[in-house]
Amino acid sequence: MIEAEILRKDGRINAVNVRGHALYGPYGKDIVCAGVSALCQTCAESLNKLTEGKFSIEIDRGDFHIEVLDYGSGDDMVKINVLLDGLVIGLKSIEESYPQHIKVKERRIWHDGSSAFCT
């Protein structure tokens, strides 16, 4: 199963971690893995090419990690939030269609340090 964790700090997505394999189909023909990989790679490339933000991005077979280190300001902050929200919408859409193969959860942290998991 693919497990995706979205970390929101004070309402903004701060990090996305995706790991595992869907096991929906044979290796190289798994449409769930392919869809998730395409979303993650497109988001990472778009963040790097369309914004001046700073990110930690790691992509490895079956694993994807992105953390926002600096949102920049003005338009960049808006673009970063839209791109990351689009990634989450895509992941949740795949989860709706293939709930046995991908699970998306969100953890929210507020400025006072409190946190909660949401689904």
Number of domains in the chain: 1
Q: What is the pLDDT along the chain (119 residues), one digit of tens a residue?
A: 999 999 998 889 999 999 999 999 998 899 999 999 999 999 999 999 999 999 999 998 879 999 999 998 889 999 999 999 999 999 999 999 999 999 999 998 876 666 656 65
Q: Which domain holds residue 44?
A: 2-118
Rounded to two decimals, the pTM is 0.90
pLDDT at position 111 is: 67
Look up the CATH number of the domain holding residue 47. 3.30.70.1490
Q: What's the confidence (pLDDT) of residue 58?
A: 95
Contact status, residue 63 vs residue 5, Cβ threshold 8 Å = no
Give the contacts of 68 (CB within 8 A, at least 6 positions apart).
12, 13, 14, 15, 53, 54, 55, 80, 84
- Rounded Cα gap, residues 64 and 44, in angstroms: 10
pLDDT value at position 62? 77
Give the pair of three-digit tokens for residue 12: 């903004």
Query: What does the pLDDT read at residue 27?
Result: 85
Hunting for tokens 């338009």 — which residue is that?
75
Predicted confidence (pLDDT) per residue in 12-39, tens digit: 999 999 999 999 999 889 999 999 999 9
CA 113 vs. chain centroid, Å, equals: 22
